[in-house]
Structure 1
Amino acid sequence: MTGNPQVAMWFFWVIFLPGTFLHELSHWLTANLLGVRTVKFSLWPEIKKGGQLQMGAVQVEVGDPFRHSLIGVAPLLFGSLAVLLIGQGQLNLTAIGQAVVSGNLEAIWQAIIQTMVLPDVWVWLYLVFAISNAMLPSASDREAWRTVLLYLGLALVLAIGLGLNPSLPPDFQRLVLTGFAYLLSAFTITIAVDLIFMVFIFIFEILLGWLLGRQVQYNR
């Protein structure tokens, strides 16, 4: 829209700065908790080869695949926790979810109205938008996942081949299911907030395109 890649880069960097900060901070905290030394912490944007925008970076020393994979998945866990805390603690989105489950349109509308009149609602919605769109692990974050999954798969095949019947303790099963339920709630909140912002972004693009005589093009 601006016709200037540098302007576009700084625009996106400013918009998603809270999410970028949490993303990189989660890498840094997890690495230090796991005893992996960090050698760089940066929130400075950079356009990489191929036109890919890097919003920030944390460089760590090469460690074993298991710790590396935990460091890589940290932004998703920290981001989901932040989205849940804001969505349920500040935006009353639990009430909206319950109204949607009930299928009562009047209850849904009332829950939305009650949410939109909350203090600083747009600040909290913006934070959810910025955090949720920056919490997914990048390609470099996922590098060690393949190795870890391969080891886990081989261990499972070996256990089955030896006639073992690996089963998870009931408490651990409940913990895993609870974790997935929280992740699902975080993703649901993310989708709901993204839909709200998509409407505003669409209107903004139409108005700005009309004023500047340009059209937004999204490259794959």
Structure 2
Amino acid sequence: MWIYLIGIIVELIILGFLSSRLTQLSFTVLMRLTHSRSISITILTIILFPGTVIHELSHLFTAEILGVHTGKLTLAPESIEAGEIQSGSVQVAVTDPFRRSLIGIAPTITGMITLSILSWYLSTQMYQVSGIKYQVLIVSIIYLIFTISNTMFTSKEDLKGVLPVALTLAIFAITFYISGIRIILPAQFATTIVTIIQTLAYYLAIAVAINLMGILVNTLLLLIFQKHHR
């Protein structure tokens, strides 16, 4: 189980890097095509809109579930900085660090679950359809994996308070481990947890592969543009 947990962490780090790079490349390609920053941002905003909706609603619903008051919800990204889309936002009242951390990381957790479901469907159910339905299904799922994986990561604002809570939990976990304290889960429940972790690790790899393909396509397009303008 620990190997798969480490694998998930590594995959998320890689996916975070790839999504930032892919956003940057996509914006550059759009700039080459439109020669307008505002038009490029608008197009990229539309492309990433489903992921933005999931991202912000994750914040909103988590805050409501935890009893934290919310305010204005914005779903329109307005800028791109350092390869990162400045996505929409939702106003959240000041709360304790623990609930703030859960609200902050909610889009990443929701994104992981959604990506796993989509990747599972892509790798198993797509063979049950044929013809134009098959093509539409494949393109739609790949598109959703692309847009969600590029909007699921928390921003610097979202991460406020996460580090202290994470360090506190890590200290408790290490203390329990050194003290010999173990939490024994029922066998069936433990098996289910291991299966979920293995599934996440496997299907997140598909999201990584799709982002790599996107980077390759955008890189080739930029090379074509450079060659054409020589």
For 2:210, the equivalent position in structure 1 comes to 193
For 2:183, the equivalent position in structure 1 comes to 168
User: Deviation of residue 206 (structure 1)?
Assistant: 3.0
For 1:205, the equivalent position in structure 2 comes to 222
Normalised TM-score (structure 1): 0.72
> 2:197 is matched by which residue type in structure 1?
F
For 1:108, the equivalent position in structure 2 comes to none
* Contact in 1 for aligned 2:116/2:204 (Cα 8 Å): no
* Contact in 2 for aligned 1:9/1:53 (Cα 8 Å): no
Query: Which protein has greater RCO, CA pairs closer than 8 Å, 6+ apart?
Result: 2
Aligned match for 2:140, one of 102, 123, 126? 123
Q: Is 1:134 the counterpart of 2:166 in the alignment? A: no
User: Deviation of residue 24 (structure 1)?
Assistant: 0.8
Normalised TM-score (structure 2): 0.69
> 1:20 is matched by which residue type in structure 2?
T
The runs of 5 or more residues in structure 1 that have no matched partner are 96-110, 215-220
Give the total of aligned pairs: 193
Q: Greater share of helix residues, 1 or 2?
A: 2
Aligned match for 2:102, one of 66, 70, 73? 70
Aligned match for 1:88, one of 106, 120, 125? 120
The runs of 5 or more residues in structure 2 that have no matched partner are 1-31
Q: Secondary structure at the match of 1:143?
A: coil
* Contact in 2 for aligned 1:81/1:186 (Cα 8 Å): no
Aligned match for 2:68, one of 36, 41, 44? 36
For 1:106, the equivalent position in structure 2 comes to none
Quick one: distance in 1 between partners of 2:217 and 2:172? 49
> 2:104 is matched by which residue type in structure 1?
G
Q: What's the Cα RMSD here?
A: 3.2
> 2:182 is matched by which residue type in structure 1?
S
* Comparing 46-55 and 71-80, the one that deviates more: 46-55
Quick one: distance in 2 between partners of 1:51 and 1:197? 15
> 1:62 is matched by which residue type in structure 2?
V
For 1:103, the equivalent position in structure 2 comes to none
Quick one: distance in 1 between partners of 2:161 and 2:192? 24
Quick one: distance in 2 between partners of 1:174 and 1:143? 34
Quick one: distance in 2 between partners of 1:156 and 1:139? 26
Q: Is 1:182 the counterpart of 2:199 in the alignment? A: yes
**CA radius of gyration, larger in:** 1
